[in-house]
Structure formats: C-alpha cells, structure tokens
Amino acid sequence: MKKYRPTIPFLSWMLAVDLEETRNIQNQEGSPAYGCDCDLCVEWKLLYKKIIPEKLLEAFCRVGIELQSPTDLYGSGLGSDMRTVRVTFHFIGKILSGLNGATHDDKFDYDGFPYEIIRKEPYFSLRVIPQKETFVSAPDYEAEGSSQVLCVDMRLCYPGKYLHDYRNS
Ligand SMILES: [Zn+2]
C-alpha cells in the first residue's frame, strides 16, 4: 500500500492523505467513542453503511478512515423516530482545496468552515476542517511537517426504522 496519496477527491474537497499515519490514529484508545457501547454507538456500527450515502463510502475508504470507529459520536438518543447525531472522524494530511474558512457568513459576521449538505432527506451534512479550528475531541497525535490533523465532521439524521429493518433482514 502506498503511504501517501497526494490527491483524493472527497465531495467538494481535494485532499492529500498520509495513509500510514491515518491508520495509526483510527480507533485510538481513549477517544470518546472508543469501545463505547451506548445505544447510538452500537447502532452506528450496525447501520453506518446504510446511514452514509453510498457514493461517500468509497471516498472514506480512499482516505483510510475506519467508519465503524468514529472519534466521537453523540446525539439525540433513541427517544424519537428520527435520530439526530454528530459524528467525527480524523485523518492526517492536507486540505488542498474545497469549502474552507474563506467562506464568510454575513448574518453572523463569521468566517466559517461550512458544512456541505449532501442530502436533504434524511438530512446529511459534512465538512472537512483542520482540527485546530474545532472544539471537538481528537486522537492524540503530533502532526509533523506540512501534514495536519484533519477532522471529518458530520451532522446527520436517520430514521430509527433502519434498526428495525436491519433486525428483520
Ligand atoms: Zn457512544
């Protein structure tokens, strides 16, 4: 396996990825979702292939992110029919281009890292953002050279019936 992929298209972003370093920080002990057996984490492991739009599954694979092992996952719980969750992953590399901090939100007078809305129903949005620009938990890692710790930050919904369907399939 090549250790470095210089250009990976990932939705609106173009990324460079250090595959070996990325592999080393997947499912890191001590991350909030590591070994978590809460209801949402258990559901995620069973259902992520259905929750994530199909075209994205392959893109994640190219980046070397292990989708069954988020860095963190939290949400509205299982009380309602529609789950609303935030899921984060991390990789090591560079953002070459794409939606980034240059986007200005006039309403809030804020230079933001916007989410790209991939799907309206059920809602699915994602952004790629340098870890240092976020307040989310990250794996323990010291980036060297021009590589950075980067976060894939997703806010999304999925119907609770996915679990029902899964159990009946
Ligand atoms: Zn959990």
What would the pLDDT profile of 35-44 be if each residue is shown by its tens digit? 999 999 999 9
| Segment 130-157 mean pLDDT | 92
| Ligand 1 centroid, distance to 29 Cα (angstroms) | 14
Contact 17, 64 (CB under 8 A): yes
| Ligand 1 centroid, distance to 2 Cα (angstroms) | 33
pTM of the entire structure?
A: 0.91
- Angle value at C-alpha 42, between 58 and 49, nearest 5 degrees: 20
- Whether residue 60 has pLDDT greater than 90: yes
Measured CA to CA, the distance from residue 166 to residue 169 in angstroms comes to: 5
pLDDT value at residue 84: 95
| Ligand 1 centroid, distance to 163 Cα (angstroms) | 16
| Ligand 1 centroid, distance to 61 Cα (angstroms) | 22
User: Residue 122: is the preceding peptide bond cis (ω within 30°)?
Assistant: yes
Residues pairing with 4 in the sheet:
18
| Ligand 1 centroid, distance to 79 Cα (angstroms) | 15
